[in-house]
Amino acid sequence: MASTTFPVAAEMLAKLLPDDEVLVDHRRVDEPVDVIVPLMSRIDAGMMDRFRPRLIQQFGVGLEGVDLAAAAERGIAVANVAGHDTGNADGVGEIAVLHLLALTRRLHEAREAVQAGKLGEPIGVPLSGARIVVLGLGAVGRAVVNRLSGFRAHITGVGSRDASDLSDEVRALALEAYLPVARLLDALAGADALIVGCVLNQHTRGLVGARTLAALRTGGYLVNVARGPVVDYAALLAALRSGQIGGAGLDVFWDEPIDPLDPLLEQNVSVTPHIGGVTTGSYRLMAERVVAGIERHRG
């Protein structure tokens, strides 16, 4: 079993698989393995040929880093862990709200004010009454909406389905409006914030670009807890530099981990190192499901 990131996940798997060898750095592995747990690492044909696994089992939902066609050609099973019943989506929803609050209440500046011995500044922007668009209404998007509704924000949901074909879970959300993704710009017109929680695929890569960001009110906020490439990097950097948007909250990046010298980090951004789903409860349940998947393929 090989992994290179998210060390807590490897530690949990090692405890749950005491009779197996859990290898935590693929660069030091020079022999075949039975299972690869990607943990956000790119698993391409070359890596499959190098390690010759029987199973690629993701510790979580996303499989965009796995070359599924190459795995199918080699007869390698690929599996993931659904996020709706492990607490993963709930954790990501919490991180989204954390970033939005950090931006609207100017947390970085508030910490600087403490260091400077100041009181009563900076002035923040309330979430109550704010117009917020949530892009993607899967498990993560629904978790975001459920948390924001407690702030009495006005929430518009944007998803891939027509309004006449919504799931019961989406219909139950406290949304003021729902629009299909084809009308994303309409949903964003004058909105205070956009929270990105959709999957990354050929349709959503670069979906949030210059026109999308420009549709927000001037000085509005972007929060991305989905995948970095859903947002166009150059467009985001330009919008931050120009003041078109007032700040961005990012738990995900285009290349992970992000370069500490990335010019994006010189702007008004709130960042966390892809920890949305990294909670004790979520990791315990996901580790158990990963082990169950491994046991199904053992033999």
Catalytic residue among 26, 131, 227, 289: 227
Q: Is residue 154 annotated as a catalytic residue, yes or no?
A: no
Task: Count the Cβ atoms, other than its own, within 10 Å of residue 103.
Answer: 25
User: Which residue in 64, 94, 109, 256 is the catalytic one?
Assistant: 256
Give SS3 for 167.
Answer: coil
Catalytic residue among 26, 106, 154, 274: 274
Q: What would the two tokens of residue 133 be?
A: 């668009």
Collapsed DSSP state (helix, strand, coil) of residue 245: strand
In this structure, the number of other CB atoms found within 10 A of the CB of residue 249 comes to 27
The CA distances from residue 227 to 71, 92, 157, in Å, are 22, 12, 18
Tell me, yes or no, if 21 is annotated catalytic: no
**Does residue 256 carry a catalytic annotation?**
yes
DSSP state of 43: B
CA angle 225, 191, 89 (to 5 degrees): 25
- Read off the tokens for 208: 């949030």
Task: Show Cβ contacts of residue 87 under 8 Å, excluding neighbours closer than 6 positions.
Answer: 277, 279, 281, 282, 285
Active-site residue set: 227, 256, 274
